[in-house]
């Protein structure tokens, strides 16, 4: 009996050990494979930073071909052109109301206003390993290239930007541990991270220590509350901003009203998008005729067809982009307009959908460096001169570069302030931005004031063309700035 | 022919055994005193180790001692965390006061989740628990009015104010959590120790090792298994409650996913299932192996390195680190149960009299009427 028992335990232990070893191996493999994947991961939460960029084959508007040095011509709708923007990413901040923040309750108030010389230390907690590490590598390639260029050109006047990277595997508790080490041991001047979970784990501590969290790739509404999180400035467009774009686009195409159906992914992301869309539709002449769960795309398509809607909004993640459209095609239902969320920027799903995806719309805000129409664009030239890695044309790499560009611009603006570069002047600069990054589609600005974080102030409509299997810019910019 | 060196035998309850326990306690106390002087980061890492150790201790009850493989314990971890989060944020409870509630809630849910264990076992049971783990983030997302849904639940710093009597200010909440986690860990260790050494603990292991024999011996398998899952979930939920206080931000899709369940299972297997100290070693592994491997090889190399380390550990010590240490330790010393006393007060074996240790005739040979059972 004793031997039998031991043998059974040993067998079970070996089985568990096998499971663990397999998971470890699979994890390692998934990290490796994801690094070589296409930009399909743009839909994953940490990488939706790239959501605004699409593989635009050709620009159908004049705006797309204009240089970022232009201060006119790219203004469309209610969006104003960047003020005094230069191709080198010069500051374009208007003289707005200075952002005031109480530093007396900071852990070390004196350090907040202390002038930073020599180097500006950035603590970057990122998923360097784990399931999303591959795509994050793309973003870091762009980020590192922009930082290196800024240091080489001494853009922050005598201050080098020194970035330390720590792996959080996209888990909030590891991100918190990293942030604690950055704050307590490394005494960094600002922080950066990926994803809403890590931002949530970091936000309270960095606000208590009054260390700016500048341009993390997240868009959680609660951390946009300046009164509660004055030291946190997120990069990604807010969900309600994108919803305003969606509603603006539909009302422009259907001025006298339309019936809208929502294919709703039953995940937190999908339901969040759906809720934001429905909220934005209130007070308009649009009718939400049906909200169809897209768990079964065929059932969703049937519901949408039965409601005979004019417009289908696909509130989903990248995996939904193709299946819902294909399901509608199978039952012979072709709505007048299909709008996908910005995280459906990966062309693979559209190619797989064939003709069914023709005319699908998504919002974007980043330039495509591979676009022939932008070959002479000053911003693209600048970008390509700095980013030389193989993934330079990847939308996520562009997003990473833009994140660094916003950081550099903020530090330049802070360094030029009367008190010089400090943590306080950095957050004040971050709260006083109107900046057109060279890789934003012309006419799109990054806006931030003492009271409002708008972020991306407009989207450019892009339409999928099934014939040449590429996205095309369509129409003018649509402002998403809060009214 | 030279005789092979025999290990020392130490009987439980003897002076030698007590001295060993005392030395262990002194070492542990010395470590705690040393760790209390750590900086915020290092102390936070120790706190994380203790939180994971508590959670893994819960998993150990179900998987290690009862043989009920669970790959969904992240749900109990998350349930405990959200119980604390909701009570603190929505009802203004003191964080530490939520721990018993988290324990109770997770115990009840554990009883329910454990019901399938009455009919199925092995991989089939693992699949059921997997479903529980996968469903948890979705359930949390649907209960958005309570849990905050997709955006999660944020326990603001001010809500995590240490109690006045502790003497810690809000800026020292990390230190407060360190001591609170230590206290809870010690309580959990004592509870698990006593549980395992009780009649119920013997029933757990009997059910694990041979269900038919256990049932034939009068053990109510239904009760044993169901309650084991309840206790297991409850302890893991307590770990989750502390995790909520540590993190302050609960997003089910990020913190309580299947990867978290795998982390707990990994910790248990590395530490040593069915051992008392395995969960602590597992907590150390879960926190520190990724930390150091990422330092050595940043990026995807770290993932490969982490996997290689896991495989290496499993190769060297398939029974876990605690089991491996125990195996090696038995070459030097064997701990055996106390020799029962006869009615006259004398021990049943003269070998036990007057001495606390001895050399056995042969390893594994019957000593004093009892088999030298491997224990940790």
pLDDT given for residue A222 in this prediction: 84
**Strand partners for A448:** A433, A453
Instruction: Provide the whole-model pTM.
Output: 0.77
b/e per residue, A415-444, with b = 16+ CB within 10 A?
Answer: bebeebbbbbbbbbbbbbbbbbbbbbbbbb
Interface ipTM? 0.76
| Alpha carbon distance A271, B150 (integer Å) | 8
Q: Which chain A residue has the Cα nearest residue B173? A: A205
The stretches of chain B forming alpha helices (DSSP H) are 15-35, 40-59, 73-91, 99-114, 123-142, 144-147, 173-197, 199-209, 211-216, 221-247, 252-255, 258-271, 278-296, 300-316, 321-329
Residue B267 reports pLDDT greater than 70: yes
pLDDT in tens, A260-291: 999 988 765 677 788 889 999 999 999 999 99
> What's residue B345's pLDDT?
59
Is the pLDDT confidence value at B366 over 50?
Answer: no
Q: Which of B62, B212, B299 to mutate to test the interface with A (most CBs of A within 10 A)?
A: B299
d(CA A43, CA A50): 8
Residue of A40, A390, A27 whose CA lies nearest to B300: A27
Chain B residues with CB inside 8 Å of A173's CB? 48, 243, 246-247, 255
The span from the CA of A67 to the CA of A73, in Å, is 10
* H or E segment to which residue A465 belongs: strand A458-465
Query: How much is the pLDDT for A7?
Result: 55
Which chain B residues contact residue A9 at CB under 8 A?
Answer: 208-209, 274
As a whole number of angstroms, the longest Cα–Cα distance in chain A is: 87
CA-based nearest distance B354→chain A, Å: 31
With beta carbons less than 8 A apart as the criterion, state whether A292 and A263 touch.
yes
| pLDDT for the residue A15 | 54
Radius of gyration of chain B, Cα coordinates, nearest whole angstrom: 22
CA distance A449 to A457: 12
pLDDT score at B360: 47
pLDDT at A268: 58
Q: How far apart are CA B283 and CA B269, in angstroms?
A: 11
Stretches in chain A below the pLDDT threshold 70: 1-97, 267-269, 317-320, 345-346, 482-483
Residue with tokens 């939706």: A48
B290/A174 Cβ within 8 A: yes
For residue B155, what is the nearest residue in chain A, using CA coordinates? A204
Calculate the average pLDDT of chain B. Answer: 85
CA-CA-CA-CA torsion for B376, B11, B211, A22, nearest 10 degrees?
A: 20
B349 has pLDDT over 80: no
Rounded to whole angstroms, the Cα distance separating A343 from A362 reads 8
Q: What is the pLDDT of residue B344?
A: 64
State the fold for domain A239-364+462-479.
Answer: Rossmann fold (3.40.50)
Does residue A233 contact residue A453 with C-beta atoms inside 8 Å?
A: yes
Cβ contact A173–B247 (<8 Å): yes
Pairwise CA distance, residues A322 & A335, whole Å: 15
Q: Residue for token digits 């009997």?
A: B206
Q: pLDDT class for B241, splitting at 50, 70, 90?
A: very high
Helix (H, G, I), strand (E, B) or coil at A315: strand
| CB-count burial class (<10 Å; 0-12, 13-18, 19+) for B298 | middle
Options 3.40.50.2300, 3.20.20.480, 3.30.2320.50, 2.40.30.40; CATH for A81-237+369-456 is 3.40.50.2300
Question: CB of A20 within 8 Å of any CB in chain B?
Answer: yes
Are B353 and B346 within 8 A, CB to CB?
yes
CA-to-CA dists, residue A201 to A9, A14, A133, B81, B247, angstroms = 39, 36, 19, 14, 6
Residues of A in contact with B253 (CB under 8 A): 45, 197, 267-268
Residue B138 to residue B133: CA distance in whole angstroms: 10
- Chain B residues lying within 8 Å of A2, measured CB to CB: 371
Question: What percent of chain B has pLDDT above 70?
Answer: 88
Query: Can A81-237+369-456 and A239-364+462-479 be said to share one CATH topology?
Result: yes
Number of A to B CB contacts under 8 A, please give it. 187
Tell me what the mean pLDDT of segment B217-228 comes to.
91
Burial tier of A273 (Cβ tally within 10 Å: 0-12, 13-18, 19+): buried
pLDDT, residue A308, reads 94
Domain residue spans of chain A: 81-237+369-456, 239-364+462-479
Q: Does residue A270 contact residue A277 with C-beta atoms inside 8 Å?
A: no
pLDDT top residue among B293 and B374? B293
CB–CB of A436/A428 below 8 Å?
no
Q: Do A172 and B69 touch (CB under 8 A)?
A: no
Q: Are B303 and A27 within 8 A, CB to CB?
A: yes
Task: Give me the phi and psi of B135, to 5 degrees please.
Answer: -70, -25
Structure tokens at A242: 């994108």
Q: Pull the structure tokens for residue A227.
A: 């009164």
CA distance A85 to chain B (A): 35
Chain B residue whose CA is closest to A267:
B138
CB contact at 8 A, B363 and B334: yes
Q: What is the mean pLDDT of residues B6-32?
A: 89
Section B129-151 average pLDDT = 86
Type and span of the H or E element at A280: helix A268-281
Q: Residues of B with CB below 8 A from A21's CB?
A: 307, 310-311, 314
Residue corresponding to tokens 């009760």: B223
Dist. CA A446–CA A434, nearest whole Å: 5
**With an 8 Å Cβ cutoff, is A108 touching chain B?**
no
CB A480 within 8 A of CB A240: no
Q: Does A89 touch chain B (CB under 8 A)?
A: no
Which residues from B are below 8 Å from A231, CB to CB? none
Contact A107 B259 (CB under 8 A): no
Contact list in B for residue A128 (CB cut-off 8 A) is 294, 298-300, 302
pLDDT at residue number B333? 87
Supply B101's token pair: 């509630």
Residues of B in contact with A213 (CB under 8 A): none
pLDDT at B3: 58
Task: Please name the member of A12, A196, A208 whose beta carbon is closest to the beta carbon of B251.
Answer: A196
Residue partners of A345: CB distance under 8 A and separation at least 6? A39, A42, A43, A50, A51, A52, A53, A54, A55, A318, A362, A364, A395
Of A146, A66, A88, A158, the C-alpha closest to A117 is A158
Query: Do B246 and A176 make contact, defined as CB atoms within 8 angstroms?
Result: yes
Q: Is A375 on the interface with B (CB under 8 A)?
A: no
Q: Do A181 and B298 touch (CB under 8 A)?
A: no
CB B37 within 8 A of CB B168: no
Predicted local confidence at residue A16, as pLDDT: 54
Contacts of A398 (CB under 8 A, 6+ apart): A50, A53, A142, A366, A367, A368, A369, A383, A439
């Amino acid at each position: 009996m004793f031997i039998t028992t031991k043998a059974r335990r040993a067998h079970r232990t070996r089985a568990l050990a096998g499971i663990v070893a397999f998971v470890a191996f699979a994890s390692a493999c998934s990290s490796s494979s994801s690094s070589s994947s296409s930009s399909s991961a743009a839909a994953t939460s940490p990488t939706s930073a790239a959501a605004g960029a699409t593989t635009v084959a050709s620009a159908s508007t004049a705006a797309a071909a204009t240089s970022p040095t232009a201060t006119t011509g790219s203004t469309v709708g209610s969006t104003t052109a960047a003020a005094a923007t230069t191709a080198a990413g010069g500051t374009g901040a208007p003289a707005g109301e200075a952002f005031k923040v109480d530093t007396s309750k900071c852990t070390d108030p004196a350090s907040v206003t202390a002038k930073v010389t020599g180097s500006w230390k950035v603590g970057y907690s990122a998923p360097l390993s784990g399931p999303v590490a591959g795509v994050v590598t793309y973003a870091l390639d762009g980020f590192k290239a922009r930082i290196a260029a800024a240091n080489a050109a001494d853009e922050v006047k005598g201050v080098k930007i020194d970035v330390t990277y720590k792996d959080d595997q996209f888990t909030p508790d590891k991100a918190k541990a990293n942030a604690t080490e950055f704050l307590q041991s490394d005494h960094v001047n600002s922080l950066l991270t990926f994803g809403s979970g890590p931002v949530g784990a970091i936000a309270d501590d960095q606000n208590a220590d009054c260390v700016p969290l500048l341009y993390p790739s997240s868009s959680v509404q609660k951390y946009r509350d300046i009164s509660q999180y004055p030291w946190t400035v997120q990069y990604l467009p807010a969900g309600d901003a994108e919803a305003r774009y969606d509603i603006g686009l539909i009302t422009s195409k259907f001025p006298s009203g339309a019936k809208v159906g929502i294919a709703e992914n039953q995940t937190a992301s999908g339901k969040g998008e759906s809720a934001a869309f429905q909220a934005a539709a209130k007070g308009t002449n649009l009718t939400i005729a049906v909200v169809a769960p897209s768990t079964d795309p065929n059932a969703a398509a049937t519901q949408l067809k039965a409601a005979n809607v004019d417009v289908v909004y696909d509130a989903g993640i990248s995996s939904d982009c193709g299946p819902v459209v294909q399901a509608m095609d199978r039952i012979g239902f072709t709505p007048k307009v299909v709008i996908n969320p910005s995280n459906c920027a990966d062309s693979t799903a559209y190619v797989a959908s064939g003709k069914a995806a023709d005319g699908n719309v998504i919002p974007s805000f980043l330039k495509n460096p591979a676009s022939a129409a932008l070959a002479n664009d000053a911003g693209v030239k600048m970008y390509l001169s700095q980013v030389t890695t193989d993934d330079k044309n990847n939308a996520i790499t562009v997003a990473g570069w833009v994140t660094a560009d916003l950081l550099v611009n903020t530090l330049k603006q802070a360094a030029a302030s009367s008190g010089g570069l400090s943590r306080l002047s950095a957050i004040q600069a971050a709260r006083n931005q109107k900046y057109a990054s060279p890789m934003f589609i012309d006419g799109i600005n990054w806006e931030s004031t003492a009271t409002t974080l708008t972020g991306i102030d407009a989207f450019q409509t892009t339409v999928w063309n099934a014939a040449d299997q590429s996205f095309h810019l369509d129409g003018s910019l649509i402002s998403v700035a809060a009214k | 022919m030279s005789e092979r060196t025999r290990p020392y035998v130490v009987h439980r309850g003897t002076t030698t055994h007590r001295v060993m326990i005392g030395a262990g306690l002194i070492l542990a106390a010395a470590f705690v005193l040393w760790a209390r002087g750590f900086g915020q980061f290092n102390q936070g890492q120790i706190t994380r180790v203790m939180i994971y150790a508590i959670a893994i201790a819960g998993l150990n009850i179900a998987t290690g001692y009862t043989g009920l493989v669970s790959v969904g314990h992240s749900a109990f971890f998350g349930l405990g965390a959200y119980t604390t989060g909701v009570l603190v944020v929505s009802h203004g409870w003191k964080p530490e006061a939520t721990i018993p509630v988290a324990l109770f809630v997770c115990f009840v849910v554990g009883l329910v989740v454990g019901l399938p264990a009455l009919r199925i076992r092995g991989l089939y049971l693992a699949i059921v628990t997997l479903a529980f783990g996968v469903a948890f983030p979705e359930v949390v997302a649907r209960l958005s009015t309570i849990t905050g849904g997709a955006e999660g639940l944020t326990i603001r710093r001010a809500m995590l104010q240490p109690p006045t009597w502790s003497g810690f200010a809000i800026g020292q909440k990390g230190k407060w959590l360190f001591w609170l986690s230590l206290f809870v860990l010690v309580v959990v260790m004592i509870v698990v120790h006593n549980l395992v050494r009780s009649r119920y603990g013997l029933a757990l292991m009997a059910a694990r090792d041979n269900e038919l024999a256990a049932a034939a011996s009068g053990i109510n398998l239904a009760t044993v298994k169901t309650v084991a899952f309840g206790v297991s979930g409850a302890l893991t939920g307590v770990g989750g409650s502390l995790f909520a206080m540590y993190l302050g931000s609960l997003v089910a899709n990020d913190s309580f996913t299947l990867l978290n369940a795998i982390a707990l299972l990994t910790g248990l297997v590395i530490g040593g299932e069915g051992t008392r100290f395995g969960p602590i070693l597992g907590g150390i592994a879960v926190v520190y192996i990724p930390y150091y491997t990422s330092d050595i090889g940043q990026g995807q190399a770290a993932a490969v390195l982490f996997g290689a380390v896991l495989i290496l550990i499993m190769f060297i010590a398939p029974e876990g680190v605690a089991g491996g240490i125990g195996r090696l330790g038995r070459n030097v010393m064997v701990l055996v149960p106390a020799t029962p006393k006869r009615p006259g007060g004398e021990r049943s074996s003269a070998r036990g009299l007057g001495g606390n240790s001895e050399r056995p005739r042969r390893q594994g040979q019957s000593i004093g009427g009892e088999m030298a059972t491997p224990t940790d």
